[in-house]
Amino acid sequence: MKKKRRDSYERLKHIRKAISEIETFTGDSGRKEFLNNTVLSSAVLFQFSVIGEAVAHIDPKLLDRYDYPWYKVRSFRNLISHEYFDIKLEAVWDIIVQDLPELKQIIETILEEESGKR
């Protein structure tokens, strides 16, 4: 169980880093630049893929203790990886602006609360 907890903790740190990367990439950008800059949008989509993959490998019992729609994170990763031709960059921008701050907060909360249990 300790190994699973340690692995989950490492995955949570990967998520925190990916969120930070998205914030860095988009920090000086607006919606228009994001929509028109293929390098920027590709970099952001990769980081979202990292987030979704990491969530898929975190102990579900750990995630169940925190009220968040984790299935949406995994589903978004699947969309990026398997249905990439249906990605709407306008919707991705909305996720960055509206949803990413909440995910960041819940990840920080989990890392803080779970760090003493490792």
Q: What is the pLDDT of residue 107?
A: 98
94 pLDDT higher than 50? yes
The set of residues, in sequence order, having a beta carbon less than 8 Å from that of 26 and lying 6+ positions away, is 34, 40, 44, 96
Q: Are 107 and 8 in contact (CB under 8 A)?
A: no
Can you tell me the distance from the alpha carbon of 92 to that of 86, in angstroms, rounded to the nearest whole number?
Answer: 11
Q: Are 16 and 108 in contact (CB under 8 A)?
A: yes
Element (H, E) at 38: helix 38-56
Tens digit of pLDDT for each residue in 98-108?
A: 999 999 999 99
Q: What is the pLDDT of residue 1?
A: 45
Tens digit of pLDDT for each residue in 45-65?
A: 999 999 999 999 999 999 999
Can you tell me the distance from the alpha carbon of 5 to that of 81, in angstroms, rounded to the nearest whole number?
Answer: 27
